[in-house]
Structure 1
Amino acid sequence: LRADPVIVTAADACAVRRAEEGRVVLRSYAETRYGAKSWNCQRRVVARIEASTLGMDIRYVVTSLTEGSAEHIYDTLYCARGQAENLIKLHKTQLASDRTSCRSANANQMRLILHTAAYWLLWRVQQAMPKTAALARAEFTTLRLRLLKVAARVMESATRIRVAFASACPDADLLRAIVLALKPAPT
């Protein structure tokens, strides 16, 4: 194992000690170069170091990027990649979009299109929700169960559609707020 040393100043050590004592939460970034035996060269390693009352949390990212600060690489690039993977996971697990068991490729493609439409619907509902709502950060399964699978009476006339919820519907106000947020602007 070959690694360049990471320099920690006395001020950094003092800040970490204060963080471990619960007085502050410290987040810092460091970088070094590292080469495993199986690698033919050393690579850049970015570390996000966080100290809090819960202890130390250190995350490492090995990268071939030579430009950009350690903070930019971790916060902007690495975290964005992780968020994209989380969204794919939501698509697959909570909307069952990985079920492509039809014999026809066209049928499987249509299933995927419908699952993607359901994803966009739930994502848009989540974006339209007031940020202070209890369901604002809920997973799609919870949104589907609490907001889409709701008993209501739908009354349709020539000019409008009215939805009447039961008086005991716990999310009626939230649904009203979402509908108003999704309502198209008058033309």
Structure 2
Amino acid sequence: MQFSDFGPRKIIAAFDGGEITSDAGVLLLREAAQRLNLFARMASCFEDHRDGARVRHSLTDLLNQRVSAMALGYEDLNDHDALRHDPALRLLGNPDNPALAASATLGRLEHSREAADPRYNPFVPKLNKLQNLLVDLYLDSHDSPPERITLDIDATDIETHGHQEGGFFHGYYEHRCFLPLYVTCGPHLLLAQLRPGNIDSAQGARNVIKRIVARIRSRWPDVKILLRGDSGFVRENLVRWCERNRVDYIFGLARNGYLLHKARKIRSRAAVEMVDSNAPVEMFGHFSHRPRSKTWAKPRQVICKVLHNPVQEQRVRFLVTSLDWDNDWAIPEMRQFDGKDALPRALYQNIYCPRGDMENRIKDCQLDLFGNRASAHCYRANQLRLLLAGFAYVLMTHLREKGLAKTVLAKAAPNTIRLKLLKVGARIMTSLRRIKISMPDAYPYKDAFCKAWSALAPT
């Protein structure tokens, strides 16, 4: 094929380049997965009822293919009908197979039902075991137990289209949706649980926190745990469980007239100081509070923040927390503040506000790694898809934390890592003794790629 000339030179193109891939970065995903033993551990959370003598693609290979493809940006099952012949992605499977599994095989993996006839449902995922594996992978990521950890909990929405099981209209989001629950610890994912869209945001939160805390303390019995969330999780059963089980908490608290009345003194001081200085004023205070309805078993400490400036109405925020002056969480954070408001200021700014970073983790899971692709009719299939996206997130996080530290991609989001590190064009040449993958000389992230290989490759 001849194209328009480039100066004095003709431009000729032909399909004669041999085996070429656009996903040479899958090599790094492969090494990261092997370090975690990820897919063998995931496979142990399934029942495989297939006849072993007739199996071409092992369960481990199927999970490897599906999760790695999501990390590479291929979220749909029908993508695999073309991907199964990609020379780089074939390295994820059995070397004796000429191609990876087709979409039909992967579809049976995702859509199996637990109590169905095994002749037609060969795979049975144990969803609770997969959720526990997320916690185990987090625990395994530490060489020694930390002194204290913060668990962030939050709910979000996954919009549904059609009549998926469990999809209901939600008044806050104003569309039909699921209401998944996430728990994270820093960059690590500990829970990705799909829930129907017609429930309270905190429904089931106590049970999952109870399970996660028990699993953490079985390995780290002395670790101090703080649970952090927004006002949707201020429920008496969850708060009382935390108080009885040595789990500290700090939650947002919805504003109401009674709380505003109890904060009237600090609100008045902020208004007076704003008028005197004609500049924005920020004040913090704290007080003991129990709702008039007696829905709390006892009074609890409430943190109040008042922000008043000349061009906006006064804004007041409240938190409820178990943290106090002599708490191990609060003491180091108060050292940078002076005055009577050192405790509430430290709790609000240094301990509660970092909760917002969890929104980035949810974005990573749902947008960058396609956790929001809940297009199956069956509820269990959509839950499994959400978990597979969660494990793709775990894989990308391990690649970033262990392989890309001290590189330009050390804090990159999964989509950035995918575009700059995984989407690498290469020519693949196979001989009897080796497979050589030749990547471009002009690849701009060569240093980051080499550092990741050095950190992840077997020694």
Q: Which bin holds the TM-score, normalised by the shorter protein?
A: 0.5 to 0.7
The answer on 1:63 being equivalent to 2:319 is: yes
Letter in 2 for 1:111: R
Aligned length: 158
TM-score for the superposition, normalised by structure 1: 0.62
The residue correspondences of 1:25-44 to structure 2 (distance < 5 A) are 30-33=284-287, 40=292, 44=302
Contact 1:48 1:74 in 2 (8 A): no
Considering Cα pairs closer than 8 Å and 6+ residues apart, tell me whether 1 or 2 has the greater RCO: 2
The answer on 1:129 being equivalent to 2:404 is: yes
The answer on 1:168 being equivalent to 2:442 is: yes
Deviation of the 1:130 alpha carbon: 3.2
Deviation of the 1:103 alpha carbon: 2.3
Distance 1:99 1:83 in 2: 23
Distance 2:306 2:449 in 1: 40
Distance 1:113 1:100 in 2: 11
Which digits, 9 at most, give the CA deviation of each residue in 1:104-142, with x for residues without a partner? 3343233223212221121122212133x3322222211
Letter in 1 for 2:266: P
What secondary structure is seen at the aligned counterpart in 1 of 2:375? coil
Which digits, 9 at most, give the CA deviation of each residue in 1:57-116, with x for residues without a partner? xx965122253332135423x235322232112211221211111123343233223212
Contact 1:46 1:74 in 2 (8 A): no
Distance 1:100 1:107 in 2: 8
Task: Give the unaligned 5+ runs of structure 2.
Answer: 1-259, 271-276, 294-298, 308-314, 325-342
The answer on 1:182 being equivalent to 2:436 is: no
Letter in 2 for 1:79: C
Name the structure 2 match of 1:72.
347
What secondary structure is seen at the aligned counterpart in 1 of 2:266? coil
Letter in 1 for 2:285: E
Structure 1's 145 and 31: CA in aligned 2 closer, same or farther, altered over 3 A? same
Deviation of the 1:161 alpha carbon: 6.1
Name the structure 2 match of 1:45.
303
Structure of higher CA gyration radius:
2
Name the structure 2 match of 1:83.
357
Letter in 1 for 2:390: T
Task: Give the unaligned 5+ runs of structure 1.
Answer: 9-15, 21-27, 50-58
Structure 1's 124 and 61: CA in aligned 2 closer, same or farther, altered over 3 A? farther
TM-score for the superposition, normalised by structure 2: 0.29
Distance 1:107 1:101 in 2: 9
Name the structure 2 match of 1:107.
381
Which digits, 9 at most, give the CA deviation of each residue in 1:31-62, with x for residues without a partner? 24599xxx74997334499xxxxxxxxx9651
Distance 1:153 1:60 in 2: 60
Structure 1's 144 and 47: CA in aligned 2 closer, same or farther, altered over 3 A? same
